[in-house]
Amino acid sequence: MNQSEAKTPSQSAVESRYILMPHQANQYGTAFGGVIVAWIDMVAAMAAQRHCALEVVTASIDSLHFKEPVYVGEHVILKACVNYVGRTSMEIGVRVLREDPKSRKQSLATTAHLTFVALDENKKPTVVPPIQPETEEEKRRHENAKLRTQARKELREKMKR
């Protein structure tokens, strides 16, 4: 693939489903946070790889918000999408929904933003294709990701001083 060829967020979006099992839960019957984080990292990596068709590594988890618990037996739906692309890095947004398997009622359980870096055959950061948001939602996520990216850069600079 031509690295300068822009891709839309929908071209690399990933959706995955799991059932929360008892061994993945605490004594209260709710998901261990680490289980949810591992699933988030996995689907985010797949979205990043689909975008750039290269090896990727997790550089950071910039935000992670547990909004509702997920209970044993519930379905867990993870939706990952590339929000923003820098030169060698990508911000991936992940939404985690919990779904009652009987009623199919869904609610937002967790949100996260992760940064991945693409690697070349020598394991060095390499240029990734640009992103071309199309829908209003994709454009909103792209603009918000630009703000987060700028804020991270400013924070790094302030912490160096």
Confidence of residue 2 (pLDDT cuts 50, 70, 90): very low
Level-2 CATH architecture, domain 9-160: Roll (3.10)
Token pair of 121 as six digits = 């055959």
Question: What one-letter code names the amino acid at 30?
Answer: T
The three-point CA angle 40-42-43 to 5° equals 70
Q: What is the pTM of this model?
A: 0.92
The stretch 21-25 carries a mean pLDDT of 98
Confidence of residue 7 (pLDDT cuts 50, 70, 90): very high
Residue pLDDT, tens place only, 138-148:
999 999 999 99
Taking the C-alpha atoms of residue 83 and residue 70, their distance in angstroms, rounded to an integer, is 25
Domain ranges of the chain: 9-160
Percent of the chain past pLDDT 70, that is, above it, reads: 98
- Sign of the torsion formed by the C-alpha atoms of 54, 58, 59 and 63: positive
The DSSP secondary-structure symbol of 58 reads: E
Residue pLDDT, tens place only, 25-80:
999 999 999 999 999 999 999 999 999 999 999 999 989 999 999 999 999 999 99
Taking the C-alpha atoms of residue 62 and residue 68, their distance in angstroms, rounded to an integer, is 19
- Mean pLDDT value across the chain: 95
Residue 4 near residue 126 (C-beta atoms within 8 A): no
